[in-house]
Structure 1
């Protein structure tokens, strides 16, 4: 049986971590909007390419995101989806293109989210995730997987983290 699971939660709630575990447990694809957008960043659409929006720091328009997510879900024999939907229009579109077996919402206190986001470090080479307090690398600043440099993402500063959370509360929170 192919499972179709949607994981929702604010930035820093642990969607990526938990989605990866669920996907492995059930033997299905882990589909993230970010990965799907990066994989299709040069796809031509009537709105331009996803790359043009991403490089300008703008949100990719819903019709483009919807098309990319649909393609990713169509290719998957079962999935755990995270990072989508981000608004009501996307949620309605998702309900039109697939049935879900489970929807999981990760509820986490805002201060915990800010601590998680500001402490997150990502390998500049392979993308592995760490946290300075909860999941530190063996050697500070160095990726255990590939030896690459660990960096703080630009959107993981406290000010930006709080802004991202407010956008989530305004546009996405169930």
Structure 2
């Protein structure tokens, strides 16, 4: 596998919101930018896990909700994101990944954040299904890899902690088609909401990660 060229950028202050289905590459791009531009990468999934493992009052509530197979209410999700942003040393330099997920969350976000840049990751369905079916997750630390786009140095072993990798049961082609249909039904109103206010920036996430990164940097440089 050829080595990916490393681009180095000077610092650009920006509050970025990443929208896109699982497997669109938004998490990978967020990690790249957080390393190169010193952006904070805020993932709602990570925040939920951190609070659960730390047994915070919110974490205990989230754990109970998840164990009953229910969705975490907007009120809790909004609070946990706002609390995280309030702790940041630089509140103008971060990426929100996985939030907002609906118009209610988007409107709440507008109450405590201004001058946000929305990036919508568009990707071909067949490419997305291939990416997700290649996804592997570390049993120990939860780091995500991909046998097609982000392989580990040693097959089946995490690069970070040497834990064993596994494939989620719902990362099969048929399950993914159902999940993607649900995702688009849920997020179309959100995409329309940001589009109407001229805040939506679409990028082609079907391309290689290097090219997606370049497209995103062009948007950052223009803003």
* Same fold per superposition (TM over 0.5): yes
Which is greater in Rg? 2
CA distance in 2, matches of 1:159, 1:72: 36
Alignment of 1:21-32 (within 5 A): 21-32=32-43
> RMSD of aligned C-alpha atoms?
1.9
Choose the corresponding residue for 1:44, options 57, 61, 67.
Answer: 57
Q: Which ranges in structure 2 are unaligned for 5 or more consecutive residues?
A: 1-11, 192-223
Q: Deviations along 1:94-139, whole A, 9 cap, x unmatched? A: 1111113421111001111111111100111122322122222233
Count of residues paired in the alignment: 172
Q: Distance in 1 between matches of 2:150 and 2:33?
A: 19
Q: CA deviation at 1:172?
A: 1.4
Q: Which TM-score applies when normalising by structure 1? A: 0.88
Any runs of at least 4 consecutive aligned residues in structure 1 with deviations exceeding 4 A, and if so which? Answer: none
Please, what TM-score do these two structures have when normalized by structure 2?
0.70
Secondary structure of residue in 2 paired with 1:31: strand
User: 2: CA distance between counterparts of 1:7 and 1:32?
Assistant: 10
Residues 122-131 or 30-39, more deviating: 122-131
Aligned counterpart for 2:79 among listed residues 67, 70, 73: 67
What's 1:83 paired with? 98
Q: Secondary structure at the match of 1:7?
A: strand
Measured against aligned partners, the alpha-carbon deviations of 1:118-169 in whole angstroms (never above 9, x if no partner) come to 1100111122322122222233212233221110123423333223212210
Contact 1:13 1:113 in 2 (8 A): yes
